[in-house]
Amino acid sequence: MHISRRIDIVRLASLRHVIQEWSQESSGTLLARVWQRSPAMEPIYQRPGDYDLEHEGDDEDIEFYIRILDRWRPRRVMELAAGSGRVTIPLACAAVPAGVEVVGLEREGPMLDEALRKCAALADGERRCVSFVTGDMRDWRAPDPFDLVIAPCSSLAHLLTLDDQIAAWRCAFENLTNGGRFVVDLTMPNLPAYADSMQTPPRTFVEVDVDARDPKSGARLLRYKTTQYRPHEQRAEIRFLYDKFPDPNQVDRYVSDFDSHVYYPRELELLFRLTGFSVEAWFGDYAMRRLRASSRQLIAVGIKAVAA
């Protein structure tokens, strides 16, 4: 369950105090651990089980991509930054009757291991339609081109520099068939939150945005989020603070830093044009409604022109 309410709080300086408090043991049998940021990857990507739990019930985007398969009927599909296979695997399962091949590209070992574990549990027909490869969205090469490349869940927001963004768009272009499509799925900029963080003195709110429970183990995961906007870099510094309760008497606490590039529609169009695409469609949500000022999603579809 996702919760949009805000806890009326906190100036920037107090965020450090919140994190320090989390690192201390609480009374009774409550245990607390704060994971330090890994130079290799964010802590949440070392915990594929928690990643899946924080996305428990998120299926609107999966349904969107299944509709895309039905509309465009690609034969080969690549998902960039596929993670634990949250989108890749159900997409492949839905594509079994049409014989579509779905490939997930992922660079982080724990996430890739979890995706492969899930694949091993699939039925034979489903397993034949899905595979995973190790790679980076900025420099991957496939032996055979794809008809469709997708980048769900704001994965392209991890690319903080213009060079990395251009590299990712060019990789998608080069690995597509003529007439192939590149679907970029991002969230619309949260201008009210950015404006709060730019006040003098600056303010940031702690937002409880995930409250999920594992349907098998009963473990509960709470995710808190703070956002600070750096307009001169067009970057949102997002801090995810996690409380996981394996049982009522124990809590596992950690912080995952997520510096996110903030994309705007005109910028996306320039990236598509620069790398050889033309923009075929814009969507403002997973129901494929048009992009508008109130849209929460920013979804663009670029098409690789058919060679003359």
The answer to whether residues 223 and 50 touch, using CB atoms and an 8 Å cutoff, is: no
pLDDT tens sequence across 278-297: 999 999 999 999 999 999 99
pLDDT tens sequence across 239-260: 999 999 988 788 999 999 889 9
Confidence of residue 155 (pLDDT cuts 50, 70, 90): very high
Which element (helix H / strand E) includes 133?
strand 130-134
On the CB side of 130, CA atoms within 13 Å amount to: 29
What local confidence, expressed as pLDDT, does residue 7 receive?
34
Please state, for a pLDDT cut of 90, what percent of the chain lies above it: 72
Contacts of 57 (CB under 8 A, 6+ apart): 1, 212
Contacts of 17 (CB under 8 A, 6+ apart): none
pLDDT tens sequence across 14-40: 334 433 443 343 333 333 333 233 334
Contacts of 200 (CB under 8 A, 6+ apart): none
Residue 122 has pLDDT above 90, yes or no: yes
Phi-psi label, residue 215: left if phi above 0, alpha if psi -120 to 50, beta otherwise: alpha
Q: Quote the strand ranges of 136-266, DSSP E.
A: 146-151, 176-187, 206-213, 220-230, 235-247, 250-261
* Average pLDDT value for the chain: 86
Parallel/antiparallel/unpaired status of strands 206-213 and 176-187 = unpaired
What local confidence, expressed as pLDDT, does residue 96 receive?
94
Contacts of 88 (CB under 8 A, 6+ apart): 79, 82, 102, 103, 104, 115, 130, 132
What local confidence, expressed as pLDDT, does residue 57 receive?
85
**178-205 mean pLDDT:** 88
* DSSP code string of 43-104: GGGG-HHHHHHHTTT--HHHHHHHHHHHHH--SEEEESS-TTSTTHHHHHHHTGGGT-EEEE
Structure tokens, 18: 């919140």
Q: What is the rounded distance in angstroms from the CA atom of residue 173 to the CA atom of residue 170?
A: 5
Confidence of residue 196 (pLDDT cuts 50, 70, 90): confident
Residue 108 has pLDDT above 50, yes or no: yes
Residue 13 has pLDDT above 90, yes or no: no
